[in-house]
Amino acid sequence: MKIKDENKRQQILTATASIITHEGAAAVSTTKVAKQVGIGQSSLYTYFTNKQALLSAVFAQEQQKLASLIIGAGVADDTLTIKARLMRYAQTMVKFAIANPDSLVIIEQIKFLPDFNGPSLNDPQNPIVQLFQMAIDAGALPKIDASLYIASIFAVALRHGENIQQQQYTEKDVTLSQVLRLIYGADFIE
């Protein structure tokens, strides 16, 4: 049995993420990843049983980066108002997108693969879905499916981050406050 090297595993994940960022998730193959890392394809299978396992690991890695920031921002803090938690969620998503635009692209690319079997935007166990559903039930947000709110924030944050990265405008040109007004509406923002 081959011994797994954590550095090699990370190189494999990094190479996969790079392929997704530059060519799309559909372009990922174990052959291409192995070649980019400089290992044999059979060595790659020491770390990941198949392409789906590899993509799931990349997805989980990117999701974890985002999840730790969301938790750190207090989005799950029940002592805050629902409105404050929603604002923190959107702020975190926008700031994350500016700092890590490739991460959101990777998440989006993998999530929309036909054979993706990861978490859904409708999963009632997802704390973000629960937060938006609480906001809808409390009347803080109009009665629209929670997944539409989450997908909208993701899309706006991703586009905003990409626009800044591509120097279409700066953070001073389009402020966080303006983006939050776009996401939630002027009436929501005090």
Cα–Cα distance for residue pair 80/157, rounded to 1 Å = 23
The answer to whether domain 61-184 has CATH 1.10.357.10 is: yes
Residue-wise pLDDT tens digits, 93-121: 999 999 998 999 999 999 888 888 777 66
Residue-wise pLDDT tens digits, 119-154: 766 778 888 999 999 999 999 999 999 999 999 999
Looking at residue 104, its pLDDT comes to 92
Looking at residue 190, its pLDDT comes to 62
Round the CA-based radius of gyration of the chain to a whole number and report it. Answer: 19
Are residues 180 and 83 in contact, defined by beta-carbon separation less than 8 angstroms?
no
Looking at residue 2, its pLDDT comes to 58
CATH number given to 1-48: 1.10.10.60
Q: How many other C-beta atoms can be found within 10 angstroms of the C-beta atom of residue 44?
A: 24
Domain-wise residue ranges, the chain:
1-48, 61-184
**Whole-Å CA distances, 171 to 5, 70, 98, 179:** 40, 21, 9, 10
Residue-wise pLDDT tens digits, 14-67: 999 999 999 999 999 999 999 999 999 999 999 999 999 999 999 999 999 998
Q: Which of 118, 153, 135 is nearest to 83 (CA)?
A: 135
What predicted TM-score, i.e. pTM, was given to this entire model? 0.87
pLDDT grade for 1, boundaries at 50, 70 and 90: very low
